[in-house]
Structure 1
Amino acid sequence: MTQARHDEQPWEHAAPRGTRSKALTPAAKAAAKRRAKAAGRPYPNLVDNMQAAKRQKAAAKPKAATKTQATAGASGRPAAKKTAAKRPAARKASAKDHAGKSHESKARGRDPEGGLTAAGRADFRRRDGAQLKPGVKKQRISDMTPEEMRRKGSWATRFFGRAELPALRDAHGKPTRFALSAHAWGEPVPRTEAAARRIAEKGRRLLARYRRLRDA
């Protein structure tokens, strides 16, 4: 058999012995015709037919078996997939957890008898820059400095001199945090509105005394 030269085109030499050409399907012929028209070549021609035949052959090949099919056992059942053992995911902190921590932090900063503890005041200073001081527990005005009069008077009128007072007792009859603030300032914890108003009146007297001393 004469061997084809490398510079020969496919149609310039005979087909290899033993090969049989397969007729193009109508769809393949139509595709070859469109390809020739797009390239400006007359049809029929060997170039476009060869390309169409190549695509026709590729489309006729059976699809490769999937990995699952290839590893199927004699019973035809697909082999079981190996799955890596999953590690238990770390539990994310829920909003409930954060709320619990926040409540715990607040509880540590609160004095159970009213007001804030030293740790609570330090926490406010770190978080907000607030320079909170412990309440003035002196009861007699004559024992107070002008600055102590101003601080205690301001607290008393601000807390118990407001138009509407918050609840002084909770559902169980225990004093609320609002009422307990009086203890932090050395005053009796008010059980009634009248008792709270008396603290506010004392605060107004303290402020009046402070102003007289300041202006003297």
Structure 2
Amino acid sequence: MAVPKKPVKKKPSPKKKARVAKRTERKTARKTKRAERNAPTRKKSAGNYAKVKKGKGTGKKAGGGMTAKGVATYRKNNPGSKLKTAVTKPPSQLKPGSKPAKRRKAFCARSKSWKSERGLAARRKWNC
């Protein structure tokens, strides 16, 4: 019966050793350069996220929610989006059972628990 041979571990060639040494040298050089110029880390784990650009909403003072221009920009950037502006007509001017009346009713029911200034401003805008 034949005894299986153990695999022979090859020693890396001198060329490969030189390549690996060069690579590690480059890595450490990059790290020291970064440390020297005190470059901030761009990792998400350190809390670096993309900045949210403001200016497309009306804010809490003007009533909360997005303007028509903001909605148009959003829909342009997100094809297939069904985002619409707020139903700002008073309930007395809405025909009962119409699409805008149903949207308003659904929004008011959904936003009942909103207590922040921004949420209250949005509810005021929708006439809730």
Q: Relative contact order (C-alpha < 8 Å, sep 6+): which is higher?
A: 2
Q: From the CA coordinates, give the structure whose radius of gyration is larger.
A: 1
Question: What is the TM-score with the length of structure 2 in the denominator?
Answer: 0.49
Question: What is the TM-score with the length of structure 1 in the denominator?
Answer: 0.31
